[in-house]
Amino acid sequence: MGKGGKTDGGDGFGDASRDGVEQENMAAWLLGVNTLKIQPFKLPNLGTNLFFFWILGTLPWSIDITQPTSPLYLIKLVNMYCFDCCLFLFQNMRCADFVVKEPMVIGHECAGIVEEVGSEVKHLVPGDRVALEPGINCKRCELCKQGRYNLCPEMKFFGSPPTHGCLANQVVHPGDLCFKLPNNVSLEEGAMCEPLSVGVHACRRANVGPESNVLVMGAGPIGLVTLLAARAFEASRIVVADVNDHRLSVAKALGAHEIVKVSTNIEEVAEEVAKIKEAMGTRVDVSFDCAGFNKTMATALSATGSGGKVCLVGMGQRELTLPLTPATAREVDVIGIFRYKNTWPLCLELLRSGKVDVKPLITHRFGFSQKEVEKAFETSAGGANAIKVMFNL
């Protein structure tokens, strides 16, 4: 298969079609720094073991579609939204160690409606509304066999270079990574399973429970879903710290017991830790750094009580310089997370039951024209009151 979603011929793939009528699939391509363009993205033909998903285009990885163990399906995506990682790629052509080296389709958070299913797909039928888990693991390596598939070295993840993403009309995806939405969960909420999964995975890693007093550093989208997840895990008390008054007010509205305004000045860590401890009113058992900067991580390490845990969630800096020795002397455990694993069923249940409400996080909605996509990324980059930006396809 050639680059950019084009087929070279002779590989069994061609233009997607229904009833012999070609369907043109359009996608948002990242062409350079701050440069996006809506242009065609081809889909594979519907094969015996394929389900079609109206959204991705060509398969950006090698997969044997003749095997029943590799069923794919085509789904018409009605809703999808961009996330800060897409924004970071948009602005920098990289996110952590994932570097954009050639034009690619962006996006990794989506939900949609099944259009067709392959013959090996038994749990879904056309018309079903589904949420997509965006990472396809190899299922063969030791990490996959151990159940830690999020760490699979062969992971193909929507919108993570060099794998094409899902900000398009149509997508092809494995059936076992598509989860049927409960009747009372909207497509928009279904798409929010992806960021919510980060918070859920973080709370699982840190063993958050009813006796946990939790600090969340950063009230951006991931900090806010981590707050929601900690509440769902019945954390006893939650304090959120951030530099932005508006986002702190959102955190308070979403259920933070207290909020603390902090600065970007690392010289003020000691003073701000004192404020955080006062706001908590008791020891901090678990701290989540959802920003990932020297300042935020240093604050989390200092604020966390002896024997507690600090979970690094955000990746604001590629490398960190941290005061680990004092934290080590207090046996503060430092743990990290990377994406998530086995979170979609729980996320959907939290949404169905009403234990988590993600709707307040969706602050802006756009269509899928060149003008609206550009405006959406401008809105997200501008910060201000934007939290989650949704594209309705």
In tens, the pLDDT along 161-191 reads 888 888 888 888 888 899 999 999 999 999 9
Token duo for residue 56: 């991705």
CB 106 within 8 A of CB 28: yes
Q: pLDDT class for 13, splitting at 50, 70, 90?
A: very low
Best-predicted range by mean pLDDT among 57-61, 194-198, 368-372?
Answer: 194-198
Other Cβ atoms less than 10 A from the Cβ of 130: the count is: 25
Sheet holding 26-32, edge to edge: 35-40, 26-32, 104-105
Q: What b/e readout covers 212-247, taking b as 16+ CB neighbours within 10 angstroms?
A: bbbbbbbbbbbbbbbbbbbbbbebebbbbbbebeeb
- Strand, helix or coil at 312? strand
CA-angle at 60, arms to 55 and 65, nearest 5°? 85
Q: Is the pLDDT of residue 150 over 50?
A: yes
Predicted confidence (pLDDT) per residue in 64-114, tens digit: 333 333 435 444 444 444 444 466 666 766 676 777 788 988 889 999 888
Q: How far apart are the first and last CA of the chain?
A: 26
CB 178 within 8 A of CB 50: no
Residue 125: what pLDDT?
A: 87
For the purposes of burial, counting CB atoms within 10 Å of the CB of 114, is it exposed (0-12), middle (13-18) or buried (19 or more)? buried
- Strand, helix or coil at 251? helix
Q: pLDDT class for 345, splitting at 50, 70, 90?
A: very high
Q: How many CA atoms lie within 13 A of 11 on its CB side?
A: 19
Place of tokens 């908590």: 280
Q: How many CA atoms lie within 13 A of 241 on its CB side?
A: 27
Best-predicted range by mean pLDDT among 24-38, 319-333, 360-374, 379-393?
Answer: 319-333
- Strand, helix or coil at 268? helix
What is the distance between the alpha carbons of residues 176 and 2, in angstroms, rounded to a whole number? Answer: 27
Q: pTM for this structure? A: 0.86
- The region of weakest confidence among 2-16, 89-103, 358-372 is 2-16
Choice between 3 and 87, residue whose per-residue pLDDT is larger: 87
Residues in the chain: 393
What is the distance between the alpha carbons of residues 284 and 232, in angstroms, rounded to a whole number? Answer: 18
CB 195 within 8 A of CB 83: yes
Q: Is the pLDDT of residue 269 over 90?
A: yes
What is the distance between the alpha carbons of residues 275 and 268, in angstroms, rounded to a whole number? Answer: 11
CB 39 within 8 A of CB 63: no
What's the average model confidence in pLDDT over 217-235? 97
Least Cα distance to 120 among 172, 158, 65 occurs for 65
Residue 274: what pLDDT?
A: 98
